[in-house]
Amino acid sequence: EISAPWTFHNLQELRHSASLANKVFLQRDYSDGTTCRFQTKFPSELESRIERPLFEDTVKRLNIYYAEAEKMGGQSYLEGCLACATAYLIFLCMETRYEKVLKKIGRYIQEQNEKIYAPRGLLITDPIERGMRVIEISIYEDRGSSGSCSGSSSTSGSSAR
């Protein structure tokens, strides 16, 4: 593992002083069918940037939230039947449970970015912005750090195996 020197950023600083080096994509896990789950495999590019338990915790939490959004239980059936009875017009006025959970997820990701990922020069993109296909993690390099050093760390992390 190469530990490249990085300075601790907050989210604001990241925008103004860092440049994008690489992006890692966590794909969907379809073993359970079409419900929304993401693979928890730890990408090799992040090995030098963040501790594995922290990362896995974030992804697992996201999976739990998505499972909650798509859960088919009493409340969702009630919502569905009520919607059918009103010719689905209540969708125009009411926020569905899914949307509420999505907002919660957005806040969670924002919080994780601010507390954990931005200080390490990483940024998680909300999957909804990518069509729920991937969790995109952007890896930033400090503009001030030497090009070769950060270059080598990212290339070694992403070289084909």
Partner 1 sequence: MKHCEYQQIDPQALSTPTPTLPPQHAVVQEEKKGETARRKWEDFPGKNRFYCDGRIIVAQQSGVLPLTLGLILVTTVLFFVFDCPFLLKHLTVFIPAIGGVLFVFVVISLLQTSFTDPGILPRATPDEAADIEKQIDNSGSSTYRPPPRTKEVMINQQVVKLKYCFTCKMFRPPRTSHCSLCDNCVERFDHHCPWVGNCVGKRNYRFFYTFIVSLSFLTVFIFGCVATHLALRAQGGRGLMFALQESPASAVELVICFFSVWSILGLSGFHTYLVASNLTTNEDIKGSWSGKSGTEDTGNPYSYNNIITNCCSVLCGPMPPSLIDRRGFMPVEESSQTVATEIELAAKNEINVCQLVLCLSVFVCMAHHHPPLGGQLSGLCSVLCWLMSKCTQGTKDLLESASRSPCPQTGKPQTVSTSCPDSIDPADPAVTFNPDVTPDPVAVPSLKCGGRHHSHTTSPPDEPRQLHHHHHHNRHHKTRSARSSSKRAALHISNPAYNVSLSPPTSPGLGPSHGTGAEEHVRDSFATLH
CB of 108 to partner 1, least distance (A): 12
149 sits near partner 1 (criterion: CB under 8 A): no
152 sits in which H/E element: helix 147-158
Binding mask 12-51 for partner 1 (x = CB under 8 A): --xxx-xxxxxx-x--x-xxxxx-----------------
Could you say whether residue 52 binds partner 1 (CB under 8 A)? no
Instruction: With contacts defined by CB under 8 A, name the span among 2-10, 46-54, 55-63, 91-99 that binds partner 1.
Output: 91-99
- Per the DSSP assignment, residues forming a β-bridge with 125 are 136
Calculate helix-pair angle for 97-112, 52-69, nearest 10 degrees: 170
Check binding of 151 to partner 1 (CB under 8 A).
yes
Is 133 in contact with 127 (CB distance < 8 Å)?
yes
**Residue pair 38/135 in contact by the 8 Å Cβ criterion:** yes
Judged by CB under 8 A, which of 70, 108, 116, 156 binds partner 1?
70
Segment lying near partner 1 (by CB under 8 A), choices 2-10, 53-61, 84-92: 84-92
Roughly how many angstroms between the first and final C-alpha of the chain, as a whole number?
A: 16
Amino acid at 58: T
Nearest-angstrom CA–CA distance, 29 and 109:
19
d(CA 125, CA 69): 19
The residues that touch partner 1, with contacts defined as CB under 8 A, are 11, 14-16, 18-23, 25, 28, 30-34, 69-72, 76-77, 79-81, 83-84, 87-89, 91, 96-99, 102, 106, 109-110, 113, 123-126, 128-134, 136, 138, 140-141, 147, 151, 154-155, 158-161
